[in-house]
Amino acid sequence: MRLLIAAAGKWKAGGKSGPERALFEQYAGRIAFALELREVEEKKKLKPDALKRREGELLLAQVPDGAVVVALDEAGRTLTSAAFAERIGRWRDEARDVVFLIGGADGLDGAVKKRADFVIGFGSQTWPHLLVRGLLAEQIYRAECILSGHPYHRE
């Protein structure tokens, strides 16, 4: 199983590392699953609806054939960490690749949510799109720990 996080927007240029990137890298570095982060960005200045649509196209272009598509959206289904781990374990056992799609500052286009096999959220609050990468990496790491019986996750 390979995991891909496709995210709209890029880290700050110039090699400066902010706390969002540090959080992502801290947890991504612990994950044993093959994990890749792909950033997509539209360079043209577009109005918010057009930008969201274009980012959706760029995100969907990252999805390999046969992969499970998981969209992250504030209106998505909230799962306990154990339930998230169960899904990850099922996809691992089915030898399915999983692609997580994270929209930009304006969120995900409806076409992305429609294409997704599963839409999850980290609660009904709105989170900065760069921070969601770190939150997702932590939950993937936690899922891996749950599946392996590692004590990181305490119930």
Vertex 84: Cα angle to 1 and 65 (nearest 5): 35
Which tens digit of pLDDT belongs to each residue from 22-81? 999 999 999 999 999 999 999 999 999 999 999 999 999 999 999 999 999 999 999 999
Q: Model confidence at 155, in pLDDT bands (50, 70, 90)?
A: low
Q: Is 10 exposed, middle or buried (0-12, 13-18, 19+ CB in 10 A)?
A: exposed
Burial class for 47, CB neighbours closer than 10 Å (0-12, 13-18, 19+): exposed
Average pLDDT over residues 1-25: 86
Residue with tokens 């999850």: 120
Best CA proximity match to 33, nearest among 116, 154, 155, 139:
139
Of 32, 30, 152, 34, residue with least CA distance to 82: 152
Contact 103, 56 (CB under 8 A): yes
pTM above 0.85, yes or no: yes
Q: Which residue has the tokens 């700050």?
A: 12
